[in-house]
Amino acid sequence: MPDQTTQITGRLHSFETLGTLDGPGLRLVVFLQGCPLRCLYCHNPDTWDLKGGRAVTVEEIVAKASRMRPYFGSTGGVTLSGGEPLAQPQFTLALLKSLKKEGIHTVLDTSGTAVFSASERTLGISTAQIQAILTATDLVLLDVKAPLAENFQALTGCSMAGLERFLELANDNHQAVWIRQVIVPGLNDTTTDVEALVQFLQRYPKLQIPKVELLPYHSLGVRKYEQMGLPYLLAGVVPLAEEQLAILQQAVDQRFFLNR
Ligand code: SF4
């Protein structure tokens, strides 16, 4: 009997072949459509619409990944990104499971925001689906937008309840997680902000966290906002100087890794 799972369809924004920034080794990065957040600095507002992009099957992506296997070596593989891969939970789960079946390393690049309070946009992902997705994921790249509730809301337009639920489940699963945070001048660029990030992560002690990476805000996506007729609310914000970012990175590494 043919495997029905491989015929499940999702909405694809684009591929990046041989990506080096979204997980270990050389990777096929699969950018999926749909995101519940509205991060002020989002580079890809064209991924927000769950109905955008084109239809793609699990089979098509697994076949593409299999052809790329010689490039993956012992560390590379496939990264599901977006948009927000958790916005298409059934497709993401089927894809991750099929990749695992082929022995391909899987990374989930996510904001963790998949479960919402009743008053917010509901994506209908269940706890069981998140647990199954985590089990089929070798490494989570988790973008912690902001560690304090009020900053999170201001930056993303959503509450952080979904992220906290995701982290509780990942913690229960002893998940391997690389943490990322984009540093935006005036929003989260002080040592107090970095301290808040460390304290937030310490709430989830069973996570396996080899890396906490601070990334500089940049305004490369601004043209897309113009093309889509959307206001760009961070206009005029100047990216943090490299040396300033290095100081914050050092602070987070010292506070987080020396206390584990
Ligand atoms: S989570 Fe990512 S895709 Fe979604 S709005 Fe934020 S930056 Fe954009």
Q: Is the pLDDT of residue 246 over 80?
A: yes
Q: Which residue has the higher pLDDT, 99 or 128?
A: 99
- pLDDT (mean) for 49-63: 96
The C-alpha atoms of residue 88 and residue 81 are separated, in whole angstroms, by: 11
Q: Are 115 and 66 in contact (CB under 8 A)?
A: no
Any ligand 1 atom below 6 A from CB of 82: yes
As a whole number, the mean pLDDT across the chain is: 91
> pLDDT tens digit string along 69-106?
999 999 999 999 999 999 999 999 999 999 999 999 99
- pLDDT (mean) for 132-148: 96
Q: Report the pLDDT value the prediction gives residue 118, as an integer from 0 to 100.
A: 46
Starting at the earlier edge strand, list the strands of the sheet with 77-81. Answer: 54-57, 9-19, 27-32, 77-81, 105-110, 139-143, 176-183, 208-216
Q: Which of 110-119, 160-169, 176-185 shows the lowest mean pLDDT across its residues?
A: 110-119
Q: Which residue has the higher pLDDT, 257 or 13?
A: 13
User: How far is ligand 1, taken at its centre, from the CA of residue 238, in Å?
Assistant: 20
- pLDDT (mean) for 60-69: 97
How confident is residue 53, by pLDDT bands cut at 50, 70 and 90? very high
Mutation pick for ligand 1 pocket among 29, 31, 32, 44 (CB with most ligand atoms within 8 Å): 44
Question: How many whole angstroms from its chain centre is CA 127?
Answer: 18
Atom 8 of ligand 1, residue of closest alpha carbon: 42
Residues 163, 165, 169, CA angle at the centre, nearest 5°? Answer: 115
Q: Report the pLDDT value the prediction gives residue 192, as an integer from 0 to 100.
A: 92
Q: Which residue has the higher pLDDT, 115 or 30?
A: 30
Structural domain total, the chain = 1
* CATH number of the domain residue 27 falls in: 3.20.20.70
Tell me which residue range forms the domain holding 161: 4-257
Atom of ligand 1 nearest to the CA of 36: 4
- pLDDT (mean) for 145-151: 92
